[in-house]
Structure 1
Amino acid sequence: MGVILGWIILGLIAGALAKLIMPGKQGGGIIVTMILGIVGALLGGWLGSFLPFLSSNTGGLGLGSIITSVIGALIVLWIYGLVTKRR
C-alpha cells in the first residue's frame, strides 16, 4: 500500500512539473492534470525499468524515479494535447 501511495504522490508532482515544463491549452484542469501525472509516472517508471542507470531497485522515490516520472508525464500530456486538439 505504501508503494502505491508513493507512486500516486510522485505522479501528482510529476504532473505539476510536466505542466510547468509544457504549458499550453491541453484542457482538462487540475484533476485531469493530476490523473495524467499519475499515468505518466507509471509510464515513466515502466520505461525507466529498461534503463539501468535510471531505475530504482529499492522502489523508492530517488532522482531516477522523479526524472522518469516527469518524462512519462510529459509524454502523456503531449499525447493528451494531440488527442484533444482534434476535437
Structure 2
Amino acid sequence: MSIIGWIILGGLAGWAASMITGNDARMGVGLNIIVGIIGGFLGGWIVNLFGGIGISGFNIWSFVVALVGAIILLLIVNAFAGKKRYSHT
C-alpha cells in the first residue's frame, strides 16, 4: 500500500477510534493519522498472532484491523495518562 493509502486509512481509523474511546475532543488530524497508522501495525501484529492476515491493502478488512489496533492503543494511552491530565477543570 502506498504512503497516501496509509495516511488515508490511518486517518480514518484513528478518527473513528478517537470517537469510540472519547478522545476526539483533544486529538487533531495529525494525531488521528499517527494513531491510525500505529494502530494498523498493532492490529496487524495481533491478527497475525491468531493466524489471520493483517493489513492487506486499501479495503474494509484493513480498516477494521487498523481500527481495532487504534482502539487498543488509545485505551492503553488512556490507562497510563489518566483523566487528570486532560481535565479542563
Q: TM-score, normalised by structure 1?
A: 0.71
Long gaps (5+) in structure 1: none
Q: Aligned-residue CA RMSD in angstroms?
A: 2.7
Partner residue in 1 for 2:36: 37
Instruction: Give the Cα–Cα distance (whole angstroms) in 2 for the partners of residues 67 and 43 of structure 1.
Output: 12
SS of the aligned residue for 2:53 comes to: coil
Runs of 5+ consecutive residues of structure 2 not aligned to the other structure: none
Give every structure 1 segment of 4 or more consecutive aligned residues whose post-TM-superposition deviation is greater than 6 Å: none
Choose between structure 1 and 2: higher helix proportion.
Answer: 2
1:20, 1:28 → 2: CA distance?
11
Q: Deviations over 1:33-73 (max 9, x none)?
A: 33222211111122223455x6268x312221111110000
Q: Between the two proteins, what is the percent identity of the paired residues?
A: 34
Distance 1:60 1:76 in 2: 21
Partner of 1:69: 66
Gap change, CA 1:38 and 1:62, over 3 Å in 2: same
2 CA distance for matches of 1:23 and 1:41?
19
Tell me the matched-pair count. Answer: 83
Tell which has more relative contact order, 1 or 2 (C-alpha 8 A, sep 6+): 1
| One-letter amino acid matched to 2:4 | L
